[in-house]
Amino acid sequence: MSSPSSPRSPEDELTQSEAERYDRQLRIAGFGRGSQLKLKRAKVAVVGAGGLGSAVLLYLAAAGVGRIKVVDDGVVELSNLNRQILYTTEDIGRPKPEAASRRLRELNPEIEIEPLQEKLTDENAEDLLKDVDLAIDCLDNFETRFILNRACVSNSKPLVHGAVYGLEGRLMTIIPRRSPCLACLIPRKPKEAAVVPVLGSLAGLVGALEALEAVKLLAGLGSSTAGRLLVIDGYDLSFYWIDVRRDPSCPICGEKWWIEER
Protein backbone atom coordinates (compact mmCIF):
# COMPACT_ATOMS: atom_id res chain seq x y z
CA MET A 1 0.00 0.00 0.00
CA SER A 2 1.25 3.46 -0.83
CA SER A 3 1.74 5.83 2.03
CA PRO A 4 -0.53 8.90 1.99
CA SER A 5 2.48 11.10 1.19
CA SER A 6 3.21 9.20 -2.02
CA PRO A 7 -0.04 8.78 -3.98
CA ARG A 8 0.23 6.29 -6.79
CA SER A 9 0.88 7.87 -10.16
CA PRO A 10 -1.23 7.02 -13.25
CA GLU A 11 -0.57 3.57 -14.70
CA ASP A 12 -0.39 4.70 -18.30
CA GLU A 13 2.55 7.03 -17.89
CA LEU A 14 5.89 7.27 -16.13
CA THR A 15 6.49 10.19 -13.83
CA GLN A 16 9.73 12.10 -14.09
CA SER A 17 11.09 10.37 -10.99
CA GLU A 18 10.12 6.94 -12.36
CA ALA A 19 11.81 7.70 -15.67
CA GLU A 20 14.95 8.66 -13.76
CA ARG A 21 14.76 5.70 -11.35
CA TYR A 22 14.44 3.19 -14.19
CA ASP A 23 16.71 5.05 -16.64
CA ARG A 24 19.33 2.30 -16.94
CA GLN A 25 16.82 -0.43 -17.77
CA LEU A 26 14.87 1.83 -20.14
CA ARG A 27 18.07 1.89 -22.23
CA ILE A 28 18.11 -1.90 -22.69
CA ALA A 29 17.45 -3.04 -26.26
CA GLY A 30 13.83 -4.15 -26.52
CA PHE A 31 12.94 -2.69 -23.14
CA GLY A 32 11.40 0.76 -23.46
CA ARG A 33 8.70 2.77 -21.73
CA GLY A 34 6.09 0.26 -22.90
CA SER A 35 7.87 -2.55 -21.03
CA GLN A 36 8.27 -0.37 -17.95
CA LEU A 37 4.55 0.44 -17.98
CA LYS A 38 3.78 -3.29 -18.19
CA LEU A 39 5.86 -3.78 -15.04
CA LYS A 40 4.12 -0.83 -13.39
CA ARG A 41 0.68 -2.33 -14.06
CA ALA A 42 1.74 -5.86 -13.02
CA LYS A 43 0.88 -7.68 -9.83
CA VAL A 44 2.88 -10.68 -8.65
CA ALA A 45 2.80 -13.02 -5.69
CA VAL A 46 6.16 -13.93 -4.15
CA VAL A 47 5.50 -17.04 -2.11
CA GLY A 48 8.21 -17.38 0.51
CA ALA A 49 10.26 -14.45 1.79
CA GLY A 50 13.45 -16.31 2.71
CA GLY A 51 16.74 -16.69 0.82
CA LEU A 52 15.22 -16.91 -2.67
CA GLY A 53 12.49 -14.43 -1.81
CA SER A 54 14.98 -11.84 -0.55
CA ALA A 55 16.67 -11.59 -3.93
CA VAL A 56 13.41 -11.86 -5.88
CA LEU A 57 11.71 -9.15 -3.82
CA LEU A 58 14.62 -6.73 -3.92
CA TYR A 59 15.04 -7.06 -7.68
CA LEU A 60 11.33 -6.89 -8.50
CA ALA A 61 10.87 -3.84 -6.29
CA ALA A 62 13.96 -2.19 -7.77
CA ALA A 63 12.73 -2.93 -11.31
CA GLY A 64 9.39 -1.25 -10.60
CA VAL A 65 6.92 -4.15 -10.54
CA GLY A 66 3.84 -2.20 -9.47
CA ARG A 67 2.23 -4.47 -6.91
CA ILE A 68 3.91 -7.24 -4.99
CA LYS A 69 2.29 -9.67 -2.55
CA VAL A 70 4.72 -11.03 0.03
CA VAL A 71 3.42 -14.35 1.35
CA ASP A 72 5.20 -15.94 4.33
CA ASP A 73 4.13 -17.05 7.79
CA GLY A 74 7.58 -16.93 9.40
CA VAL A 75 9.43 -14.52 11.63
CA VAL A 76 13.03 -13.43 11.14
CA GLU A 77 15.51 -15.63 13.02
CA LEU A 78 19.24 -15.27 13.55
CA SER A 79 19.94 -18.39 11.47
CA ASN A 80 18.13 -16.77 8.49
CA LEU A 81 20.68 -14.01 8.14
CA ASN A 82 23.35 -15.97 6.23
CA ARG A 83 21.10 -15.80 3.15
CA GLN A 84 17.98 -13.69 3.73
CA ILE A 85 19.52 -10.39 2.76
CA LEU A 86 16.27 -8.44 3.05
CA TYR A 87 16.61 -8.50 6.82
CA THR A 88 18.96 -7.13 9.41
CA THR A 89 19.85 -8.27 12.92
CA GLU A 90 17.36 -5.69 14.22
CA ASP A 91 14.55 -7.50 12.40
CA ILE A 92 14.95 -10.70 14.46
CA GLY A 93 11.56 -11.63 15.87
CA ARG A 94 9.60 -9.53 13.36
CA PRO A 95 7.17 -11.16 10.93
CA LYS A 96 8.93 -11.51 7.59
CA PRO A 97 6.25 -9.90 5.37
CA GLU A 98 6.19 -6.85 7.63
CA ALA A 99 10.00 -6.52 7.78
CA ALA A 100 10.24 -7.15 4.02
CA SER A 101 7.63 -4.50 3.27
CA ARG A 102 9.44 -1.90 5.31
CA ARG A 103 12.73 -2.58 3.50
CA LEU A 104 11.11 -2.67 0.05
CA ARG A 105 9.24 0.59 0.59
CA GLU A 106 12.51 2.22 1.56
CA LEU A 107 14.02 0.92 -1.66
CA ASN A 108 11.12 1.96 -3.90
CA PRO A 109 8.23 4.04 -2.57
CA GLU A 110 6.68 4.17 -6.09
CA ILE A 111 5.28 0.63 -5.79
CA GLU A 112 2.72 -1.14 -3.59
CA ILE A 113 3.70 -3.96 -1.25
CA GLU A 114 1.04 -6.22 0.25
CA PRO A 115 2.40 -8.16 3.25
CA LEU A 116 0.50 -11.39 3.93
CA GLN A 117 1.49 -13.17 7.11
CA GLU A 118 0.17 -16.58 6.14
CA LYS A 119 1.21 -19.97 4.88
CA LEU A 120 -0.01 -20.98 1.43
CA THR A 121 -2.60 -23.76 1.73
CA ASP A 122 -5.12 -25.48 -0.55
CA GLU A 123 -7.76 -23.35 1.14
CA ASN A 124 -6.24 -19.88 0.61
CA ALA A 125 -4.24 -20.46 -2.60
CA GLU A 126 -6.97 -19.46 -5.04
CA ASP A 127 -7.73 -16.27 -3.16
CA LEU A 128 -4.04 -15.35 -2.96
CA LEU A 129 -3.51 -15.89 -6.68
CA LYS A 130 -6.75 -14.67 -8.24
CA ASP A 131 -5.61 -11.10 -8.92
CA VAL A 132 -1.95 -11.67 -9.81
CA ASP A 133 -0.29 -11.93 -13.22
CA LEU A 134 2.16 -14.57 -12.06
CA ALA A 135 3.55 -16.28 -8.97
CA ILE A 136 7.12 -16.94 -7.93
CA ASP A 137 8.10 -20.02 -5.97
CA CYS A 138 10.57 -18.97 -3.27
CA LEU A 139 9.63 -21.80 -0.93
CA ASP A 140 11.85 -24.17 0.99
CA ASN A 141 9.69 -27.31 0.94
CA PHE A 142 7.99 -29.41 -1.72
CA GLU A 143 4.74 -29.91 0.13
CA THR A 144 3.89 -26.20 -0.23
CA ARG A 145 5.47 -26.08 -3.70
CA PHE A 146 3.00 -28.72 -4.90
CA ILE A 147 0.10 -26.70 -3.47
CA LEU A 148 1.39 -23.63 -5.32
CA ASN A 149 1.91 -25.60 -8.54
CA ARG A 150 -1.61 -27.06 -8.39
CA ALA A 151 -3.19 -23.66 -7.69
CA CYS A 152 -1.23 -21.97 -10.50
CA VAL A 153 -2.23 -24.64 -13.03
CA SER A 154 -5.90 -24.62 -12.05
CA ASN A 155 -6.01 -20.78 -12.08
CA SER A 156 -3.90 -20.45 -15.27
CA LYS A 157 -1.20 -18.37 -13.58
CA PRO A 158 2.39 -18.64 -14.84
CA LEU A 159 4.75 -19.86 -12.12
CA VAL A 160 8.48 -19.31 -11.85
CA HIS A 161 9.91 -22.23 -9.88
CA GLY A 162 13.22 -21.91 -8.09
CA ALA A 163 14.88 -24.16 -5.53
CA VAL A 164 18.20 -24.44 -3.74
CA TYR A 165 19.84 -27.19 -1.75
CA GLY A 166 23.38 -26.77 -0.51
CA LEU A 167 25.34 -25.59 -3.55
CA GLU A 168 22.78 -26.77 -6.12
CA GLY A 169 20.14 -24.54 -7.64
CA ARG A 170 17.22 -25.14 -9.98
CA LEU A 171 15.01 -22.96 -12.10
CA MET A 172 12.06 -23.62 -14.41
CA THR A 173 9.11 -21.55 -15.55
CA ILE A 174 5.70 -23.17 -15.80
CA ILE A 175 3.11 -21.90 -18.27
CA PRO A 176 -0.07 -23.78 -17.32
CA ARG A 177 -1.40 -26.14 -20.01
CA ARG A 178 1.43 -25.15 -22.35
CA SER A 179 4.55 -26.37 -20.57
CA PRO A 180 5.34 -29.09 -18.04
CA CYS A 181 4.32 -28.35 -14.46
CA LEU A 182 6.19 -29.17 -11.28
CA ALA A 183 4.35 -32.49 -10.95
CA CYS A 184 5.42 -33.46 -14.51
CA LEU A 185 9.01 -32.79 -13.42
CA ILE A 186 8.76 -34.36 -9.96
CA PRO A 187 5.86 -36.83 -9.83
CA ARG A 188 6.27 -37.63 -6.14
CA LYS A 189 7.21 -35.43 -3.24
CA PRO A 190 10.93 -36.02 -2.64
CA LYS A 191 12.34 -36.85 0.77
CA GLU A 192 13.39 -33.62 2.36
CA ALA A 193 15.78 -32.62 5.09
CA ALA A 194 14.12 -30.94 8.06
CA VAL A 195 16.61 -28.10 7.72
CA VAL A 196 17.81 -27.30 4.19
CA PRO A 197 21.51 -26.44 3.90
CA VAL A 198 21.99 -23.25 1.83
CA LEU A 199 24.77 -20.84 0.95
CA GLY A 200 23.40 -17.32 0.70
CA SER A 201 25.11 -16.43 -2.57
CA LEU A 202 23.62 -19.50 -4.28
CA ALA A 203 20.10 -18.58 -3.08
CA GLY A 204 20.77 -15.03 -4.29
CA LEU A 205 21.87 -16.31 -7.71
CA VAL A 206 18.76 -18.44 -8.20
CA GLY A 207 16.54 -15.67 -6.82
CA ALA A 208 18.08 -13.16 -9.23
CA LEU A 209 17.36 -15.56 -12.11
CA GLU A 210 13.76 -15.99 -10.93
CA ALA A 211 13.37 -12.20 -10.87
CA LEU A 212 14.84 -12.00 -14.39
CA GLU A 213 12.37 -14.63 -15.60
CA ALA A 214 9.47 -12.77 -13.98
CA VAL A 215 10.45 -9.40 -15.47
CA LYS A 216 10.80 -10.98 -18.93
CA LEU A 217 7.41 -12.69 -18.67
CA LEU A 218 5.71 -9.50 -17.49
CA ALA A 219 7.36 -7.28 -20.08
CA GLY A 220 7.15 -9.83 -22.91
CA LEU A 221 10.90 -10.06 -23.50
CA GLY A 222 13.04 -12.93 -24.75
CA SER A 223 12.20 -16.57 -24.11
CA SER A 224 11.51 -18.31 -20.82
CA THR A 225 12.75 -21.51 -19.20
CA ALA A 226 9.35 -23.18 -19.76
CA GLY A 227 10.01 -26.85 -20.58
CA ARG A 228 13.69 -26.54 -19.67
CA LEU A 229 15.06 -27.07 -16.20
CA LEU A 230 18.22 -25.11 -15.44
CA VAL A 231 20.45 -26.89 -12.94
CA ILE A 232 23.30 -24.96 -11.33
CA ASP A 233 26.14 -26.85 -9.68
CA GLY A 234 27.85 -24.34 -7.42
CA TYR A 235 30.83 -26.60 -6.65
CA ASP A 236 32.31 -26.07 -10.11
CA LEU A 237 29.91 -23.36 -11.27
CA SER A 238 28.51 -25.44 -14.09
CA PHE A 239 25.11 -24.63 -15.56
CA TYR A 240 23.24 -27.27 -17.55
CA TRP A 241 19.78 -27.70 -19.03
CA ILE A 242 17.44 -30.66 -18.86
CA ASP A 243 14.56 -30.82 -21.35
CA VAL A 244 11.32 -31.59 -19.52
CA ARG A 245 8.17 -32.85 -21.25
CA ARG A 246 4.59 -32.63 -20.16
CA ASP A 247 3.34 -35.90 -18.74
CA PRO A 248 -0.01 -36.67 -20.44
CA SER A 249 -1.10 -38.52 -17.30
CA CYS A 250 0.08 -35.81 -14.87
CA PRO A 251 -2.59 -35.58 -12.16
CA ILE A 252 -2.21 -31.79 -12.11
CA CYS A 253 -1.88 -30.67 -15.73
CA GLY A 254 -2.23 -33.91 -17.73
CA GLU A 255 -4.57 -34.17 -20.72
CA LYS A 256 -6.72 -36.81 -19.03
CA TRP A 257 -7.33 -34.49 -16.13
CA TRP A 258 -8.38 -31.66 -18.45
CA ILE A 259 -10.71 -33.94 -20.43
CA GLU A 260 -12.37 -35.07 -17.20
CA GLU A 261 -12.66 -31.47 -16.00
CA ARG A 262 -14.33 -30.32 -19.20
Q: How far is the CB of 146 from Zn ion (least distance, A)?
A: 11
Report which of 22, 57, 98, 62 is spatially closest to residue 204, judged by C-alpha positions. Answer: 57
Residue 135 interacting with Zn ion (CB under 5 A): no
- The Cα–Cα gap between 24 and 171 comes to 26
Nearest distance from C-beta of residue 248 to Zn ion, angstroms: 9
Q: Which is nearer to Zn ion, 239 or 258 (CB)?
A: 258
Rounded CA separation 214/216 (Å): 5
Q: Binding segment for Zn ion among 21-29, 48-56, 75-83, 173-181 (CB under 5 A)?
A: 173-181
Smallest distance from the beta carbon of 257 to Zn ion, in angstroms? 9
57, 174, 184, 203: which one binds Zn ion (CB under 5 A): 184
Quick check: 172 binds Zn ion (CB under 5 A)? no
What are the start-end ranges of the H helices in 13-82? 16-21, 23-26, 33-41, 51-63
Q: Which is nearer to Zn ion, 96 or 150 (CB)?
A: 150
* DSSP structure class, residue 11: T
Under rule CB under 5 A, residue 183 binds Zn ion:
yes
Cα separation of 165 and 212, whole Å? 20
Q: Is 252 near Zn ion (CB under 5 A)? A: yes
For the CB of residue 260, give the shortest distance to Zn ion in the complex, in Å. 14
Report CA-CA distances (Å) from 188 to 123, 145, 168, 183, 211: 21, 12, 20, 7, 27
Closest-approach residue to Zn ion (CB): 250
Q: Which helix (H) or strand (E) holds 247?
A: none
163 phi/psi in degrees, rounded to 5: -155, 150
Question: Stretches 48-56, 82-90, 179-187, 226-234: which one binds Zn ion (CB under 5 A)?
Answer: 179-187
Q: Which is nearer to Zn ion, 63 or 139 (CB)?
A: 139
Does the footprint of Zn ion cover residue 181 (CB under 5 A)?
yes
Distances (CA, A) of 111 to 28, 64, 115, 163: 21, 7, 13, 27
Instruction: Tell me how far, at minimum, the Cβ of 153 lies from Zn ion, in Å.
Output: 7
Quote the DSSP letter at residue 15. Answer: -
In the bound complex, what is the minimum distance in angstroms from residue 93's beta carbon to Zn ion? Answer: 39
Give the interface with Zn ion as residue ranges (CB under 5 A).
Answer: 181, 183-184, 250, 252-253
